[in-house]
Structure formats: structure tokens, C-alpha cells
């Protein structure tokens, strides 16, 4: 089996060296980046299977790299690296879609365990769906927009695009609100009001020109959740 490749985006040379050595010793291949601009380019374009991403980088914010990765490479697993005590960074990173985090100084065993766990989970992430064909238009997820044959056009928010992508990747079944919160919002659904999911679906139906009373595209499956209906995924 071909070994996985991990991109390490970390400005501290000693820390980066420790990460790279540990990952290579475990049998993975590695790529490296030291600065924000280099890290952003590699995170968006390099052939890799997981990104280890420092939050504080020369020239920019690591969380901005995370935002752009989630917009352009939504299935890419990302583990953020934060300093001890930087709880706000970890929380923000998880809310933006990070799969996990490692606190510096890190234990090699913990680091590798988290890398292995995230790579095991990554097949559960949605496939990189590019477009959804509607009865009278198309959802272009690469551009986060909806276009209609009559010239109508709507922009999609990052979360709206992610929700549509997840439903499209699971188009043969109903997806529960709790699963959406967990897999798309990347938060623990326990104690969270699921009304926010319903509000996003209502806004999406407006942009997709889907009838609220008798929807054909975003279907409500009573007692189960939501399901993609009259649409062709590609």
C-alpha cells in the first residue's frame, strides 16, 4: 500500500523538524512549509493526505489557511497545532472545520495516534462533489454559486456549500440533523438546537428555487432528517 503524505505547516524549525522526523519514522511521506504564503499554496495545491497546521505563522494566520482549505478542498483532513493554554484557538479551529488538534509541546505517541485516527476517519468525509444538476439550473460548488437557465444566479455561503456537498455525497439516504451538526458543522450535537439546520435548509430552498411547501430538491424525511431529491450529482 502506498504511504500517505502529510503536509507540515510550522514556522518553528525545531518543532517542524521534530514533526517531520516523527511522521517519517512512522512510515509517512512529508511535505513542509514555513510561512503563511508557502503553507497556503501547498495546502491548496499539493498532493497530500493530511495537513498539520500551525495557527501562528509569519505573514498570516493559520486559521485563514484552514478557511480556504475547507472552501476549496473540503475533504482534506486537517489537524491544527496550538500552544498550551490556547483554548480559544483550538475552539475556533474546530468550528472552522479542523478534524483535531495537537498541543505543543506534543508527545510523539499522541501526535501519531491523532494522525492515524484522523486518516482512518477521513473516508467518512464527503466526496469532493463538484456540481449538482438541478431541473432548471446547476449548483457549482467549486464557485459556491447557483446558476439558472434564465440567467438567475445566487451565491452560496461556505456552510451552505458544505451542507449541499454532504447531502449530495449521501444522496441515497436521509441525513439526520445530528449527523449534519457533527459532520458538516463539526460540533457536538448534544445540547445544540437543531433549528439552525432548518434555517439553513430554508435559505437554500429559496436559492435553489425549491418550493417550501412541496420541495423537490431538498426533501424533508419526517422523523429522519433531510435528503437530496431531484438533482444529479457529478
- Over the stretch 173-218, which tens digit does the pLDDT of each residue have? 888 888 888 778 777 677 666 688 889 999 999 999 998 889 999 9
The set of cell numbers assigned to 14 is: 525545531
Whether the pLDDT of residue 145 is over 90: the answer is yes
Helix (H, G, I), strand (E, B) or coil at 74: coil
Whether the pLDDT of residue 129 is over 70: the answer is yes
Higher pLDDT among residues 26 and 70, named by residue: 26
Across the range 14-39, mean pLDDT stands at 93
Q: What share of the chain in percent tops pLDDT 70?
A: 91
pLDDT at 1 (0 to 100): 43
Across the range 109-138, mean pLDDT stands at 80
pLDDT at 46 (0 to 100): 87
Residue the block writes with cell 437530496: 228
Whether the pLDDT of residue 146 is over 90: the answer is yes
Higher pLDDT among residues 48 and 36, named by residue: 36
| Angle between helix 36-45 and helix 62-72 axes, rounded to 10 deg | 20
Whether the pLDDT of residue 8 is over 70: the answer is yes
Whether the pLDDT of residue 126 is over 60: the answer is no
Q: Which of 125, 59, 55 is nearest to 90 (CA)?
A: 55
Across the range 139-154, mean pLDDT stands at 92
Q: Which domains does the chain have, with CATH numbers?
A: 5-124 (3.40.50.2300), 131-233 (1.10.10.10)
Across the range 50-61, mean pLDDT stands at 93
pLDDT at 217 (0 to 100): 92
139 alpha-carbon distance from chain centroid:
18
Q: Which of 167, 141, 146 is nearest to 71 (CA)?
A: 141
- Beta carbons within 8 Å of 196's beta carbon, 6+ residues apart: none
pLDDT digits (tens, 9 = 90+) for 108-123: 898 999 898 888 766 5
pTM listed for this prediction: 0.56
d(CA 47, CA 106): 26
pLDDT at 123 (0 to 100): 53
pLDDT digits (tens, 9 = 90+) for 38-55: 999 999 888 888 999 999
Amino acid at each position: 500500500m502506498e504511504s500517505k503524505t502529510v503536509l507540515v505547516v510550522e514556522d518553528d524549525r525545531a518543532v517542524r523538524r521534530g514533526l517531520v522526523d516523527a511522521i517519517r519514522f512512522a512510515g509517512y511521506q512529508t511535505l513542509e512549509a514555513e510561512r503563511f504564503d508557502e503553507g497556503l499554496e501547498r495546502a491548496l495545491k499539493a498532493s497530500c493526505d493530511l495537513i498539520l497546521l500551525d495557527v501562528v505563522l509569519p505573514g498570516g494566520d493559520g486559521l485563514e489557511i484552514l478557511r480556504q482549505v475547507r472552501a476549496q478542498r473540503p475533504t482534506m483532513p486537517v489537524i491544527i497545532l496550538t500552544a498550551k493554554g490556547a483554548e480559544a484557538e483550538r475552539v475556533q479551529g474546530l468550528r472552522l472545520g479542523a478534524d483535531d488538534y495537537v498541543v505543543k509541546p506534543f508527545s510523539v505517541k499522541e501526535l501519531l495516534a491523532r494522525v492515524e485516527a484522523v486518516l482512518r476517519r477521513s473516508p467518512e468525509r464527503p466526496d469532493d462533489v463538484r456540481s449538482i444538476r438541478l431541473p432548471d439550473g446547476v449548483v457549482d460548488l467549486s464557485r459556491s454559486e447557483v446558476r439558472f437557465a434564465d440567467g438567475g444566479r445566487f451565491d452560496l455561503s461556505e456552510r451552505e456549500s458544505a451542507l449541499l456537498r454532504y447531502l449530495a455525497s449521501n444522496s441515497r439516504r436521509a441525513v439526520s440533523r445530528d449527523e449534519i451538526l457533527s459532520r458538516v458543522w463539526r460540533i457536538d450535537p448534544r445540547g445544540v438546537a437543531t433549528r439552525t439546520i432548518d434555517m439553513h435548509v430554508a435559505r437554500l430552498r429559496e436559492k435553489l428555487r425549491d418550493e417550501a411547501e412541496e420541495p423537490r430538491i431538498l426533501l424533508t424525511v419526517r422523523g429522519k432528517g433531510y435528503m437530496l431529491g431531484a438533482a444529479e450529482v457529478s
